[in-house]
């Protein structure tokens, strides 16, 4: 398994890289330049009404800019999920109309983190490490669904969570 890149939940603004923002702005400006300067000079008859032109030109510029922002997002999100960044960026650039981005979001893997006990790469939705049986998240002792540390009863099966032997590090202080 590939080494996942670590980006914390509160640091989501770093998921769109600066190069992607710059390319998106440049693409927006290029599309506007084409539609306002280049294209009108090639026409020999009057074009559509001004309101329609503004709407059409800005819409296409925003779509192109959003496409490059999406490619930038995928370039940062794929390593967090231990997926090949180069492969998915290539798929997004080669497949037309955003089909590559849709495929990425349909096929992407869960986020990957490290087990604090043994350092094994584990999916973020795992309750226990598959290598050392270290309990990663608080869960119900009966149905093994994830519960919050403040819950007294399981929301799925109604099990009394106080009777479970939850490790002290997963309990909320002050109980």
Q: How far is CA 105 from CA 7, 50, 134, in A?
A: 18, 37, 30
Residue 23 lies in a domain: yes
Which domain range does residue 96 map to? 9-110
Residue 28 lies in a domain: yes
Residue 56 lies in a domain: yes
Q: Which parts of the chain register pLDDT below 50?
A: 1, 173-175
* Per-residue model confidence (pLDDT) at position 169: 54
Length of the chain, in residues: 175
Q: What is the dihedral of CA 77, 80, 81, 83, to 10 degrees?
A: 80
Number of domains the chain is built from: 1
pTM: 0.66
* Per-residue model confidence (pLDDT) at position 174: 45
3-state secondary structure of 117: coil
């Amino acid at each position: 398994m590939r080494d996942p890149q670590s980006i914390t939940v509160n640091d989501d603004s770093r998921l769109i890289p600066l190069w992607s923002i710059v390319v998106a702005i440049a693409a927006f400006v290029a599309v506007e330049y084409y539609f306002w300067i280049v294209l009108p000079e090639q026409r020999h008859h009057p074009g559509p009404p001004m309101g329609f032109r503004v709407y059409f030109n800005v819409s296409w510029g925003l779509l192109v800019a959003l496409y490059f922002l999406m490619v930038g997002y995928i370039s940062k999100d794929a390593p967090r999920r231990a997926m090949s960044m180069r492969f998915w960026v290539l798929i997004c650039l080669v497949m037309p109309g955003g089909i590559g981005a849709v495929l990425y979001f349909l096929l992407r893997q869960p986020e990957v983190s490290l087990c604090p006990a043994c350092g094994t790469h584990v999916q973020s939705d795992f309750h226990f490490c598959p290598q050392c049986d270290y309990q990663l998240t608080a869960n119900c002792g009966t149905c093994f669904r994830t519960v919050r540390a403040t819950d007294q009863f399981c929301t799925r099966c109604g099990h009394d969570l106080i009777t479970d032997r939850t490790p002290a590090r997963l309990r909320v202080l002050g109980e």
